Structure 1
């Protein structure tokens, strides 16, 4: 089986090569292309995922619905659909670009760095998530306003009724903490957020676009 590769990019968002995904993350992680996706149901609830506890970066933290890396030459939207199916067993009824140029760098306590050019998407689904335990430890639906408020504290509390898949409070991923305020500025109803123009994507993220 061919090893999965990620797209390396420069500060201007131009592709400058690729590298094996397994070798990218470390103390000197190069800037590379990724994506984040927030999945919503028809009531405007957002699907949260808790990263599997064996993940190299930020194991066991709560975060947005799905993250991943486009393959070299793969359209980002196609990568989002591929990872939604693989990680959560979901098919999006609609998929929209929201934050085309989001980028971040964050460092774990052990020195491992995440450094991504990471466009942010919204997906809407009526499906039931089927988490892949290789990627996702738990999932949880929350109203957007409740989730955004929790992100401001940096910690997602367990359900108020003591039930559900979050038996204890857990931290929220650093990229999610930076993305949510930007999304919140788009308006109170996540299903009505304005869609960004794909032409605003960085050059490396325009693969497959007309």
Structure 2
């Protein structure tokens, strides 16, 4: 995809409250093996039918093994007000996944200094029935540990609410109310549950 094509597909209108700078940041397009094959804006990557691109999901566990969930803010362009893992995002071209994830934890939740361990990749595609935007992610899953009483400083433009949950209970909860959970949550949680701790 040429730079000219990318430039002509930039958004004219964003959802109210959405950060235009985030939609215009660059992400890496990837092939089936996760190798970089190009660069486009966040907005272009998530426009139907969606372009496969590099992303990350951070899972945070407390000492009791509970997982921190965040409810995505109402102004999110993809899957607003759904419960998801601690944070998600996209590394900039040539930025490491771990650096990007640590920065996003700080931006969204005010959490710093957490050691993040890569768990693997969850690749998925999901279309938001409300906004029409598409997630087509090569999603690097990272795990960190956080005390349950750690002070969170959630950015209200990103996070509507937070709560701790038993990760083993999430499949039943998502089955009972699928519209309440982000479509990638079970896949990234499964990577953690299947890994010996």
Shorter-chain TM-score: which interval? 0.7 to 0.9
* Alignment match of 1:81 (pick from 102, 118, 138): 102
8 Å Cα contact 1:148/1:181 also seen in 2: no
8 Å Cα contact 1:37/1:65 also seen in 2: yes
Aligned position for 1:115: 136
Once the two structures are superposed, residues 143-184 of structure 1 have per-residue CA deviations (whole angstroms, 9 ceiling, x without a partner) of: 333345424x2538xxxxxxxxxxxxx611111122223332
Matching of residues 101-180 of structure 1 within 5 Å:
101-110=121-130, 111-126=132-147, 127-151=150-174, 153=175, 155=177, 171-180=180-189
State the distance in 2 between where 1:28 and 1:61 align.
Answer: 21
8 Å Cα contact 2:46/2:133 also seen in 1: yes
Aligned position for 2:6: none
Aligned position for 2:74: 53
State the distance in 2 between where 1:115 and 1:86 align.
Answer: 23
1:32 paired to 2:53: yes
TM-score (norm 2): 0.79
- Deviant stretches of 4+, over 6 Å: none
- In structure 2, runs of 5+ residues without a counterpart are 1-20
Aligned position for 1:98: 119
8 Å Cα contact 1:154/1:177 also seen in 2: no
State the distance in 2 between where 1:87 and 1:154 align.
Answer: 28
Number of aligned positions between the proteins: 173
The range that moved more, 83-92 or 8-17, is 8-17
State the distance in 1 between where 2:117 and 2:176 align.
Answer: 26
- The two structures, once aligned, show a CA RMSD in angstroms of 2.1
1:42 paired to 2:51: no
Partner SS state of residue 101, structure 2 = helix
8 Å Cα contact 1:53/1:59 also seen in 2: yes
Partner SS state of residue 94, structure 1 = coil
- In structure 1, runs of 5+ residues without a counterpart are 157-169, 193-210
